[in-house]
């Protein structure tokens, strides 16, 4: 639905997007990108590249640092209400992987995605991530998929054809009430756990490659005490569990990733957890070690490695 030539409200002179359609609560734009693989830096610098099929994210999580990288301040304030589809992502990926192999004999490692969710709602229609997986099957990179969406199960037929694959499913709390406060537009905890089980159950190791699966509890959000043990036990479905403390990073510095005000306000509602956050974190971590004896438990950056 190519309606308007310029997007009302978000034009800043430098960034003018054509509104293509409305999907769920978000305005959707499409744009060709210059490149699709970006050099991985910071927290995930052990990878060669990050790959973000979309810019913006419909899940609009309250704590999302990626909002800081929005094209302009209005879009940053409206994080979750817009998505830019990188229309030529598959074509670019193929070109860039061909180029990689012209000067490298090893496979590249790719982290998908660092500032968007590759399985956010619009993916159901666009199938951009699915197209990228088809390219990955041919060019065989070492791939990590970071998502909080059960939609990933749609692609089990392709996932099982990728030899070096780790799936990181984000689940930040064991309490639905907390999930709805901090990330009201995201899938339920139950649906995410079910997706992990489904991937494990449906891939026959004789016919396909079973991916490594992590649950990333990063950053750890409050879990009500009466729900904590059940939540931790439910994480036994993963091979690895990664935890990380909630940090209020770089507040007030607009060009640097930071925790959004929305999440900081919520920490007041959950004062029973945040007033002594370190203790809450350590108590959670201790119970994790007590209850999940057969699962690899890692903290922070080291939990995000492929191996």
CA distance 77 to 175: 27
Give the contact letters, 46-85, x = binds to ligand SF4 (CB under 6 A), - = no.
-----------x-xxx--x-x-------------------
Closest distance of CB 245 from ligand SF4, Å: 16
Considering only residues 148, 164, 179, 240, which one is a binding residue for ligand SF4 as defined by CB under 6 A? 148
b/e per residue, 93-113, with b = 16+ CB within 10 A? bbebbeebeeeeeebbbbbbb
218 interacts with ligand SF4 by CB under 6 A: no
Q: Phi then psi for 281, rounded to 5 degrees?
A: -65, -45
- Our finding on whether 263 is near ligand SF4 (CB under 6 A) is no
220 contributes a contact to ligand SF4 by CB under 6 A: no
Total interface residues for ligand SF4 by CB under 6 A: 9
> Whole-number minimum distance, CB 302 to ligand SF4, in Å?
20
Q: Is 235 in the site for ligand SF4 (CB under 6 A)?
A: no
Does residue 219 interact with ligand SF4 by CB under 6 A? no
Start-end of H helices in the chain: 73-77, 89-103, 123-126, 128-139, 156-159, 176-182, 189-202, 225-234, 261-269, 271-274, 277-291
CB 174 within 8 A of CB 234: yes
Decide: is 214 part of the binding site for ligand SF4 (CB under 6 A). Answer: no
CB nearer ligand SF4, residue 247 or residue 289: 247
Nearest approach, Cβ of 147 to ligand SF4 (angstroms)?
8
Q: Rule CB under 6 A: say whether 119 interacts with ligand SF4.
A: no
Nearer to ligand SF4, 60 or 174 (CB): 60
Q: How far is the CB of 64 from ligand SF4 (least distance, A)?
A: 3
| CA–CA dist 185, 160 (Å, integer) | 29
Q: Please state, in angstroms and rounded to a whole number, the distance separating the CA atoms of residues 234 and 288.
A: 11
By CB under 6 A, tell whether 195 contacts ligand SF4: no
Q: Which is nearer to ligand SF4, 97 or 150 (CB)?
A: 150
Answer whether the bond into residue 113 is a cis peptide, omega within 30°: yes
C-alpha to C-alpha distance for 138 and 73, rounded to whole angstroms: 39
Residues in the chain: 307
**Residue 216 Cβ vs ligand SF4, minimum distance, rounded to whole Å:** 10
Binding mask 2-41 for ligand SF4 (x = CB under 6 A): ----------------------------------------
The two tokens of residue 107 are 């496979």
Work out whether 187 is an interface residue with ligand SF4 (CB under 6 A): no
Comparison of 48 and 117: residue with beta carbon closer to ligand SF4: 117
Which of 200, 198, 131, 123 is closest to 165 using CA atoms? 200
Task: Give the footprint of ligand SF4 on residues 89-118 (CB under 6 A).
Answer: 116-117
Residue with tokens 């507040």: 251
3-state secondary structure (DSSP) of residue 64: coil
Helical axes 128-139 vs 89-103, angle rounded to 10°: 20
Q: Which residues bind ligand SF4 (CB under 6 A)?
A: 57, 59-61, 64, 66, 116-117, 148
């Amino acid at each position: 639905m190519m309606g308007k030539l310029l997007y009302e409200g978000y034009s800043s002179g430098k960034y003018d997007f054509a509104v293509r359609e409305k999907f769920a609560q978000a305005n959707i734009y499409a744009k060709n990108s210059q490149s699709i693989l970006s050099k991985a830096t910071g927290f995930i610098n052990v990878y060669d590249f990050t790959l973000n099929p979309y810019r913006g994210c419909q899940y609009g999580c309250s704590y999302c640092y990626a909002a800081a990288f929005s094209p302009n301040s209005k879009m940053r304030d409206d994080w979750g209400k817009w998505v830019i589809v990188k229309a030529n992502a598959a074509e670019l990926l193929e070109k860039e992987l061909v180029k990689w192999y012209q000067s490298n004999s090893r496979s590249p490692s790719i982290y998908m995605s660092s500032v968007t969710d590759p399985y956010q709602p619009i993916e159901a229609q666009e199938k951009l991530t699915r197209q990228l997986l088809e390219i990955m099957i041919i060019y065989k990179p070492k791939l990590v998929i970071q998502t909080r969406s059960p939609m990933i199960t749609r692609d089990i037929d392709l996932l099982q054809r990728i030899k070096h694959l780790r799936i990181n499913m984000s689940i930040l709390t064991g309490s639905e009430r907390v999930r709805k406060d901090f990330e009201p537009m995201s899938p339920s905890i139950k649906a995410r756990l079910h997706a992990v089980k489904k991937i494990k159950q449906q891939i026959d190791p004789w016919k396909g490659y079973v991916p490594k699966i992590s649950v990333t509890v990063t950053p750890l959000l409050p879990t009500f005490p009466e729900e904590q043990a059940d939540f931790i036990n439910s994480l036994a479905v993963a091979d690895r569990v990664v935890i990380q403390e909630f940090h209020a990073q770089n507040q007030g510095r607009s060009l640097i990733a930071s925790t959004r005000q929305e999440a900081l306000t919520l920490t007041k509602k959950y004062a029973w957890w945040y007033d002594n956050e370190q203790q809450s974190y350590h108590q959670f971590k201790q119970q994790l070690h007590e209850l999940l004896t057969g699962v690899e438990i890692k903290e922070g950056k080291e939990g995000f490695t492929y191996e």
